[in-house]
Amino acid sequence: MNLYEKLATDIEALVQQGVLLPGERIPSVRQASQHHRLSITTVIRAYVLLESRGIIESRPQSGYFVRARREEPVVELRPSRPDPRPSAVDVSGMVLSTLRSIRSDDAIALGSPYPDPTLFPWQRINQYANNIGRRYATWNVLDDLPPGQPQLIRQITRRYLENGYTIDPNELIITIGATEAINLCLQAVAKPGDAIAVESPTYYAMLHAIERLGMRAVEVPTDPVEGMDLPSLMRLIEERGIKACMVMPNFQNPLGFQMSDERKRQLVALLTEKDIPVIENDVYGELYYGDAHPTSLKAYDTAGIVLHCASFSKTLTNAWRIGWALPGRYRETVERLKFLNTLTTPAIPQLAIAEFLKNDGYDFHLRRVRKAYAQQADIMAAAVRRFFPPGTSVSRPTGGYVMWVQLPEGVDAMVLYHLALERKITVAPGHMFSAAPTYTNCIRLNYSAAWTSEIEAAVITLGKLVASLQARTGPVQEMSG
């Protein structure tokens, strides 16, 4: 066996043994040359051989990575089958307790809803903020009244144009994060006691808004690839008197799917026909793994029924919660509610972000973030498959930075949550993503942080805990949706 063939065989064995995981970077040519005391030419020949075998792949300006196993199914989860009855929502206490547990500095925060802050351009944005603060000796709060700072509105409008969609800048309202935008939009279209259709599972911030306003959630069956089931939604509109709909069509939290353009078009057409407003949470829209920016429901709206919400909290900075709403025909109501709710949105963060968008290569920053998340999604999925017991299923996100994990039947995610917390590991239990006790054997994992030995050890520990809980419940049973 030639030297390059032996090196290729050794690396392939490490991949087969799970030492090197799909999506994980392998040593560079120069590093491998120095470590194995081989010529660079020999290492290159070994890597070319591994590429031809489909074991690794080269990525321009990034290096060599273990290739994802093509025999693995893209998605193993089944469509959900939630209880169709309207439910009062009471999840805020659990969510608050979970978020508090994440604050520990020495915890491995796999349960965090927030992206890894090391990828944010903190220093540059802070420089802009400091310069802006020094330029203005005094500040008139009346200048900050809704809809927001014109400089930021202009930059957001240009951003939509660059992504292939024209918006009316006069429709845009700056908010304190997407959370405020969602709350204002829901308050504008529905009243206490109304039934609001949501995906199942759904992001708990949507449930918070429903809970805060005294409304009821109706969970709609949701496919882990395509999203909300439209025939089921149509039936629930007729049977349950749905007053509004709340969805995340792009990289839904927690499942990570991207709704197809055709289904987005059909959803908007259905709701337009029924004259039912839809609140679109698009906070992850810029974090796509593919080649093109996804479309939004807003792009198919001709009647003003789509209330589009987004923010910079997931892509640029979560220290300053700056979001916005495009509320369609409800714009005046949302602006009035914004004024009544918080009066203004702080101006300096708006202006600092506007300066960054104007001068500092937002696209370059996003490409780096997307590449990191896509690689880490492959690694996390491979690690869960390797270290969790049989009967575990994972979603395959196409954007964002969270992954849904369905554990073997009978494993209680809340018990797992507490056992993991004792070991300085946080997870997000599935109980948080439904108004009913539907996803008791599911967790959501955050993979935004760069893969480290500490994170791998945490995933291994979680797998052992799941196996121990499974052993208490007896044989593995067939999983329910």
pLDDT of residue 78: 79
Tokens of 345: 């949105």
Pick 244 or 291 by higher pLDDT.
244
pLDDT digit string, tens, across residues 52-62: 788 998 887 77
Place of tokens 């040593």: 27
Cα gap 265→422, rounded to integer Å: 46
pLDDT band at 387 (very low <50, low <70, confident <90, very high): very high
Give the burial class of 339: count Cβ atoms within 10 A of its Cβ; 0-12 exposed, 13-18 middle, 19 or more buried: middle
> Where is the domain boundary, 339, 361, 383?
361
Are 141 and 48 members of one domain? Answer: no
DSSP per residue over 307-371, as a string?
EEEEESTTTT-SSS--EEEE-GGGHHHHHHHHHHHHS---HHHHHHHHHHHHHS-HHHHHHHHHH
User: Are residues 340 and 231 both part of a single domain?
Assistant: yes
**Are 350 and 373 part of one and the same domain?**
no
Task: Assess whether 328 and 430 both reside in one domain.
Answer: no
Shared domain check, 388 and 313: no
pLDDT for 316: 93
Q: How confident is the model at residue 139 (pLDDT cuts 50, 70, 90)?
A: low
Any idea what the Cα angle at residue 312 is, between residues 222 and 109, rounded to 5°?
70
Query: Are 17 and 165 members of one domain?
Result: no
Q: What total of structural domains would you count in the chain?
A: 3
Q: Say which range, 35-44, 63-72, 135-144, 353-362, has the weakest mean pLDDT.
A: 135-144
Structure tokens at 448: 């935004």
pLDDT at 17: 81
- Residue 9 is part of which domain span? 3-66
Of 361, 385, 414, the one marking the end of a domain is 361
Q: Higher confidence at residue 306 or residue 78? A: 306
Q: What is the pLDDT of residue 143?
A: 64
The pLDDT value recorded for residue 319 is 84
Q: Residue 138 has what pLDDT?
A: 65
pLDDT band at 136 (very low <50, low <70, confident <90, very high): confident
Lowest mean pLDDT segment, chosen from 43-52, 131-140, 195-204: 131-140
Give the CATH number, domain containing residue 298.
3.40.640.10
Lowest mean pLDDT among 57-71, 110-124, 387-401: 57-71
Provide the pLDDT confidence category of residue 73 given band limits of 50, 70 and 90.
very low
φ, ψ dihedrals at 375, nearest 5°: -65, -45
Q: Is residue 285 part of a domain?
A: yes
Of 18-22, 293-297, 385-389, give the range with the top mean pLDDT: 293-297
Same domain, 349 and 238: yes
- What are the tokens at 257? 């799917």
Long-range contacts of 343-346 (CB under 8 A, 24+ apart): 343/141, 343/145, 344/141, 344/144, 344/145, 344/146, 345/144, 345/146, 345/148, 345/174, 345/175, 345/176, 346/144, 346/320
- What is the greatest pairwise CA distance in the chain? 77
| Phi, psi (degrees; rounded to nearest 5) at 464 | -65, -40
Residue 436 lies in a domain: yes
Task: Examine residue 478 and state whether it is found in any structural domain, yes or no.
Answer: no
| pLDDT greater than 70 at residue 326 | yes
Asked if residue 127 is part of any domain, the answer here is no
- Average pLDDT on 402-416 reads 95
Q: What is the mean pLDDT of the chain?
A: 90
Q: Which residues contact 208 (CB under 8 A, 6 or more apart)?
A: 89, 91, 92, 95, 179
Domain presence at residue 123: no
Query: Can you tell me the mean pLDDT for 208-234?
Result: 95
8 A C-beta contact, residue 185 and residue 309? yes
Residues 174 and 34 in one domain: no
Q: Which residues of 285-323 are buried (b: 16+ CB within 10 A; e: fewer)?
A: bbbbbeeebbbbbbbbbeeebbbbbbbbbbbbbbebbbb
pLDDT tens-digit readout, 233-276: 999 999 999 999 999 999 999 999 999 999 999 999 999 999 99
The verdict on 357 and 379 lying in the same domain is: no
Same domain, 60 and 154: no
Three-state secondary-structure class, residue 43: helix
Question: What pTM, to 2 d.p., does this model score?
Answer: 0.84
Residue 128 lies in a domain: no
Domain check: are 356 and 337 in the same one?
yes
Output the pLDDT for position 69: 64
343, part of any domain: yes
Same domain, yes or no: 152 and 263? yes
Whether residue 386 has pLDDT greater than 90? no
- The CATH number for 35's domain is 1.10.10.10
